[in-house]
Amino acid sequence: MAIKKFFGENSTNRSLPRRSFLRATGISALTISATSACASVTGMNADQGVVDKNEDPSRYRTRLVLLGVAGGPTLLTTDCVGVCTAVVYRDNVYLIDLGHGAQTRILEAGLGGTSEAPYALSKVRGIFFTHMHSDHLTEWPAVFATGVFNSDPGRKDKIVVFGPSARDTLPRIFPPGRTAPAMVNAENPFPGISDTTRYLENALSADINDRLFDSGTASPASLFDVRDIDTSEYGSINPEGIPPRISPFTVWTDGDVKVTATLVDHRPTAPAFAFRFDTPDGSIVVSGDTGPSDNLIELAQGADYLVHEVIDSAHVNRIVETIPVEQREGVRQHLLTSHTTIEQVGRDVAERAGAKNLVLNHLVPSNNPDERWRQASNGFSGSLFVGKDLMEFGVGQHR
């Protein structure tokens, strides 16, 4: 799998010894007190979304931390920020997507630096973008622009950033026959993470240059090593954006942490990825945005935790009735084919993958009552958790 790069040299990559990652899972959750549907609560059993509140996730070498679980660009509640997930191994933090509010949540979750150097990005080793939709990367401009002020001044290694490469085909127009809209940035209408970051650097050049000239502040290029995940070996993206059937591929190995990925079905948006993180303690899979996907099911085989997006089909029907008639079918089709419904996620995805635990995130709508989300347990024999901001899970045996 080729990786195209923007900014910097390779970070230290070490081979991961071949071993069995799928061990018995020790489960824990750290919760916060709040009253909204999106905030964590205590005192429930596993299929209600929270496990034993007396367990301390910090006792676990590998942890899953939900920083934000709201799906979509619409802000519905202040208790639930945009989608962002952290995988923590020892003191190393790996972030998947950066939805609105993610950087603040890193500090709130206690994933920043020490009291002597309390920087939000001090422990971040890698950032992984599942796709190029705004609700998954809207915090990237903030992290990029302010990163050198939010990481240790003496830091030697770069934060490695992975994301989609540029799309080489135009998506289909829906419904067929509709007049093509005016193209934005026609020379490069579907940039990947590297090109997007170049544009971002240009847009922020006044700020960056002021600081370079006035105070000698380092540029973002000194902190971030941005790489496209090149999937060209699988062929060009078709206009429908439906991915080919492929096997998981390795994206990065960072000491004991191995990151693999696959293409998922977020049609017509492509490429779109799911990521799997394997450590000596177990495995965590993050779906990104997707409809039920055989590629994802293969990636998630036997996972200790499958963190999967979910949409309420009843909500789709409600919002479709509020928009202009000519837009309704396009919106309905996108939402129901490029996302996974409550009825599908447990029965058709997690159960087929043999996942031990299913954690719902990218909740659409983010203010749905938990009772509705818990219906995702139908057809799933593992444990279901309704994701909450700042909820934590321990993986493997606690220390």
Residue 66 dihedral angles phi and psi, to the nearest 5°: -90, 110
- The pLDDT of residue 159 is 98
Helix (H, G, I), strand (E, B) or coil at 41: coil
Residue 256 Cα to chain centre, angstroms: 21
Please write down the long-range contacts of 50-55, taking CB distance under 8 Å and 24 or more positions apart.
50/385, 50/388, 50/391, 51/27, 51/383, 51/385, 51/393, 52/27, 52/28, 53/29, 55/27, 55/28, 55/29, 55/30, 55/394, 55/398
Tell whether the model's pLDDT for residue 42 goes beyond 80.
no
Across 227-249, average pLDDT? 93
Q: For residues 285 and 74, which has the higher predicted lDDT (pLDDT)?
A: 285
Q: How high is the mean pLDDT of the chain?
A: 86
Q: Report DSSP letters for 105-154, one per residue.
A: HHHHTT-S--SSS--TTTTEEEEE-S---HHHHTTHHHHHHHGGGSS-TT
Percent of the chain with pLDDT over 90: 69
| Domains of the chain by residue range | 3-173+189-395
**Nearest to 95, CA basis, from 132, 130, 135, 70:** 130
pLDDT tens column, 176-216 = 777 888 999 999 999 999 999 999 999 999 999 999 999 99
Model confidence band, residue 56 (pLDDT cutoffs 50, 70, 90): confident
**Residue type (1 letter), 301:** Q
d(CA 41, CA 309): 20
Q: For residue 28, what pLDDT band results from cuts at 50, 70 and 90? A: very low
Give the DSSP per-residue string, 42-66.
-S--GGGT---TT--GGG-SEEEEE
pLDDT digits (tens, 9 = 90+) for 324-349: 887 888 788 888 899 999 999 999 99
Question: Phi then psi for 214, rounded to 5 degrees?
Answer: -85, -40
Q: Are 75 and 100 in contact (CB under 8 A)?
A: yes
Angle between helices 193-203 and 205-215 (to 10 degrees): 60
Q: What is the sign of the dihedral through the CA atoms of 130, 131, 136 and 139?
A: positive
Q: Which whole number is the average pLDDT over 316-327?
A: 87
**What are the structure tokens assigned to 299, written together?**
């990636």
Mean pLDDT (whole number) for 306-334: 89
Give residues with Cβ within 8 angstroms of 207, minimum separation 6.
145
Query: In 25-51, which positions are buried (b, 16+ CB within 10 angstroms) versus exposed (e)?
Result: bbbbbbbeeeebbbbbbeebebebbbb
pLDDT for the residue 36: 44
CATH number of 3-173+189-395: 3.60.15.10
Model confidence at 55, pLDDT cuts 50, 70, 90, reads low
Which is more confidently placed, 30 or 301?
A: 301
Min mean pLDDT across 29-33, 65-69, 157-161 is at: 29-33
Cα(187)–Cα(369) distance, integer angstroms: 44
Checking if the pLDDT of 27 tops 60, the result is no
Contact by Cβ (8 Å): 392, 67: no
- Mind giving me the DSSP string for 222-288? GTEEEEEE--GGG-PPPTT-PPPP---EEEEEETTEEEEEEE--BTTB-S-EEEEEEETTEEEEE--
Residue 117 has what pLDDT? 80
Q: In the prediction, which pLDDT does 25 show? A: 34
Quick one: tokens of 377?
A: 């347990």
* Residue 6 or 343, more confident: 343
For the chain, percent of residues with pLDDT exceeding 70: 86
Predicted TM-score of the model (pTM): 0.88
Distance between CA 379 and CA 307 in Å, rounded?
17
What's the confidence (pLDDT) of residue 174?
Answer: 76
Dihedrals phi, psi of 357, to nearest 5 degrees: -135, 135
272: Cα within 13 Å, side-chain hemisphere? 26
Q: How far is CA 234 from CA 23, 253, 387, in A?
A: 32, 22, 33
Q: How sure is the predictor about 46, in pLDDT bands with cuts at 50, 70 and 90? A: very low
For residues 30 and 57, the answer to whether their CB atoms sit within 8 Å is yes
Q: What is the pLDDT of residues 130-152, one digit of tens each?
A: 999 999 999 999 999 999 999 99
Higher local confidence (pLDDT), 351 or 113: 351
How many CA within 13 A on the CB side of residue 26?
15
